[in-house]
Amino acid sequence: MLKKDRSFVFSFLFLSSLLLQVIPVGAQEVELGYDDGGADFGFLAAPGTIAAVKFVCNSPNPCQILKLKFFVWGEMKPVNVKVLDSNFNPIFSHEATSYEGWFTVDVSYANMIIDGGRPFYIGWQWISEPPRPWLGVDTATPHDGQSYLGTVGNPGSPKSGEDYMIRVVVREVQQQVPTHKAGVLQHFDLDYRGTPLNSDGNDQTTITASPCSSLTLFFYYKEGNTGNPYIIRIYPEWDKNNFIADSDNNETTESGGREIGGF
């Protein structure tokens, strides 16, 4: 590992905490990082090696990854910038030629959505020989233990006393609660003698059945929003915990859903 004296001074909003920095950068966007903005030294590694920082989007909703940021200097040779899953396997990789300072890669076009609370890594992979450029490292306290140096599928052990200068900009994706227009029950017949889809003209809502008899139960609905799953179940008066007929929705949907059409 090669060392280099600090030669860059930057000013950032820094939350002095053992927790991840959250730096507002725009409407509904936040920048996540562990470094304090000042590079104490830089380092190189062999081609194929991945320097990465682990992040978690602490949100009840999923987050979209918008930008990847790396603090670099030196000879600007191509590198691979990566997003890796919790097992250190790439879900996004892009070859790019960086520039000195905070090198930013816009990846919003990839529409990468990460579940809230699920770890992921932002990685920097050297691909040239000799490997260039240098990646900045912050050694000032606090040390968060979220920086790794490994290969695909193997992040290695977290570094102690070092925070790699890698950041990510994310945006919480608000989950929309769907609004559905319910269907309207038009016929409910426990003694149906017609031909679907037509009523037999006598909707009986109660009936006495003889043992071993066979009856056709008829439900007919005016359709609401199309595409919504539904289920109908009939619970007898003598056993309200077990249904005796249903609409055969694979028995997987809880009762009480909306019917959207059919009979």
Domain boundaries, given as residue ranges, for the chain: 21-172, 178-263
Cβ–Cβ under 8 Å, residues 148 and 159:
yes
**Blockwise average pLDDT, block size 10, the chain, 263 residues:** 32 30 59 92 94 92 94 94 94 94 94 90 93 93 91 93 95 70 69 76 78 71 56 69 63 46 43
Name which of 123, 59, 60 is nearest 86 in CA terms: 123
Predicted pLDDT at 7: 31
Name 145's Cβ contacts closer than 8 Å, sequence gap at least 6: 158, 159, 160
> What CATH architecture is 21-172?
Sandwich (2.60)
Predicted pLDDT at 168: 97
Give residue-wise pLDDT tens across range 206-220. Answer: 777 777 777 766 666
Give residue-wise pLDDT tens across range 102-144. Answer: 999 999 999 999 988 899 999 999 998 888 899 999 999 888 8
CA triplet 158, 51, 151: central angle to 5 degrees?
A: 85
Predicted pLDDT at 39: 92
DSSP state of 172: E
